Amino acid sequence: MDPKDLEKQRQPEEPRYLSFPHLSNGTLRDGKPALNKYSSTLTNGHDFPGAQAMLYAAGVPDEHAMKNSPQIGIASVWWEGNPCNTHLLGLGKEIKTAVLRQGMLAWQYNTIGVSDGITMGGEGMRFSLQTREIIADSIETVTCAQHHDACIAIPGCDKNMPGVIMAFARHNRPSLMVYGGTIQPGYSETLRKPINISSCYEAHGAYIYKTLKSEHDPNITPDQIMEDLEKHACPGAGACGGMYTANTMSTSIEAMGLMLPNSSCIPATSPAKMRECVRAASAIKVCMENNITPSRLLTKASFENALVMMMILGGSTNAVLHLLAMAGTAGVPLTLDDFQRVSNKIPFIADLAPSGKYFVADLFDIGGMPSVMKLLVAAGLLDGSIPTVTGKTLAENIEPFPSLPQGQEIIRSLDNPIKATGHIEILRGNLAPDGAVAKITGKEGLKFIGKAMVFDKESQLDAALNAGKIPRRENLVLVVRYEGPKGGPGMPEQLKASAALMGAKLTNVALITDGRYSGASHGFIVGHICPEAAVGGPVAVVRNGDTITIDAVENRIDMDVSDEEIKKRLAEWKAPRMPVTRGVLAKYARLVGDASHGAMTDLF
């Protein structure tokens, strides 16, 4: 048999290409602009014969398709080895098939990612945040270099989503996002309850402090419980299942109009996710026909919607960082004060993990995001008039969906909130003159005063926790510094420490850092302290025993040290040697801005 015939047998058959019969040299018959606005630079005439030769080799079937058909980039953040991303190649293939059936050319490609869950607590976590910039750079590069007319992006994990939206803002060509979907909850036989990735980290704290046990069977050992959790917390493909960073970003972006209805809540393994992929092809065509570009969707009104959704659902502190970066890239004015303003007026009503009981897959079962949005639009809290990728307004998109069912317990009524205002608090004070971000649901109280216990790296705190050296006898504020965007470098998340504290039930402890927390973190935590220690922020000169007050009512974070003493300490302070001097992290540390402006690398 001819080797080429053998290769054809191995590959799944692509649908037969259907070119647009109504396209002719740059204009539609009804006079609208052609959909191949950008690709026609290469494909019309003979100015780029080499480009056309390569496109024919890549799969353009004939001259008519070359001259007339739009080219759609399908950008997935696919890679193996992480449940959030491992299935995205398949979703991309489904979208490609649907795009071809719409009579357009489709070019599938992917960019890179890092698993936050796998790298959490290790040196690999320093590489995570900077992947947001790599993803944005990659998609912008391919879209512009290859003259794609539109882009459909398929992210799965935390940094993926802001990365693709930042790319959309840069190239500003018709674009939409298809979220890879949330994971289904796992189940622990030893604990007899639903579990998720956060359960592993919290159990680790209990394991260290020798309090891990099964309430149902005293004969089950702590090691057996840990093995059970490790095997069953992640039952398949999909992003971490609570209202952690991935689901916070997907629900926020859906509220901005950049996704198809309910994309943010459809589980990764649900047949509905594959149907969404098919619908994406017709939606991107609508965007192209109506010139619905990211600049028309990324507006102050749409970002306001994102902030409302974040507060309603109890979303991750990381969303502050990412939404600031998305807005900065799009040229939309958004500041820390906007987050506080919205948090002051929006109630927290979702009983979702990490602070609550349910998961996003459960939310899908009661109607998902459109049903939540119907409640908020009706109450005047969400702007239903914003445009979306469907060509309809947000209110028109959600109109066919049912309202939240009576008796459900996941989303409370607006007059019976978990907390009357939002859980995100922007704090300032002599410890964070340029701002810090706290995630306070109210369950932990609204004020904490304790003595500082200082760690110059997360690894030092992890070692102290592993050794059981965090005492229970007095209120402590654990200070983790030199973990900011520059100092980390990479501003690593610190779920391992925060979850261990929760698992060990160290309720006498608050945790503050110039680094970040995972969306799965909860407890009395403050992150994004700015300026960070590495650039000489006051957090660099906190000393063991200093009294620190965290006040979510007055929105302050202060150490009981006079201004004169802080100036004296800073005058004596010497910047530590950078932990890396070459490679991608060193480059990132040189380019990155501060957390209060989104930790962007393209500030001007």
The number of beta carbons lying within 10 Å of the beta carbon of residue 150 is: 27
Longest Cα–Cα distance of the chain, Å, equals: 85
The number of beta carbons lying within 10 Å of the beta carbon of residue 127 is: 20
193 φ, ψ to 5°? -160, 160
- Tell me what pLDDT residue 24 has: 36
SS3 559: strand
Q: What is the pTM of this model?
A: 0.93
User: What is the DSSP code string of 389-457?
Assistant: TTSSBHHHHHTTSPPPPTT-SSB--TTS-SBSS-SEEEEEETTEEEEEEEE--STT-SEEEEEEEEESS
User: What is the DSSP code string of 309-371?
Assistant: HHHHHT--THHHHHHHHHHHHHT----HHHHHHHHHH--B-B-BTTTSSB-HHHHHHTTHHHH
Active site residue 302: no
Q: Are the C-beta atoms of residues 265 and 369 closer than 8 Å to each other? A: yes
CATH 3.50.30.80: which residues of the chain? 424-597
The topology under which CATH files domain 424-597 is: Glucose Oxidase; domain 1 (3.50.30)
If you search the block for the tokens 């010139």, which residue do you land on?
Answer: 291
Q: Are the C-beta atoms of residues 342 and 320 closer than 8 Å to each other? A: no
Q: Which residues of the chain have pLDDT under 70?
A: 1-33, 519-522, 603-604
The number of beta carbons lying within 10 Å of the beta carbon of residue 413 is: 10
- Tell me what pLDDT residue 519 has: 63
CA 237 – CA 184 distance, rounded (Å): 8
The residues with which 428 forms a beta bridge, in sequence order, are: 556
- The span from the first CA to the last CA of the chain, in angstroms, equals 60
**Structure tokens, 390:** 């469907």
- The CA radius of gyration of the chain, in Å to the nearest whole number, is 25
- Tell me what pLDDT residue 603 has: 62
- Tell me what pLDDT residue 201 has: 86
Contacts of 136 (CB under 8 A, 6+ apart): 163, 164, 166, 167, 170, 329
Candidate list 188, 518, 521, 596, residue with the active-site label: 518
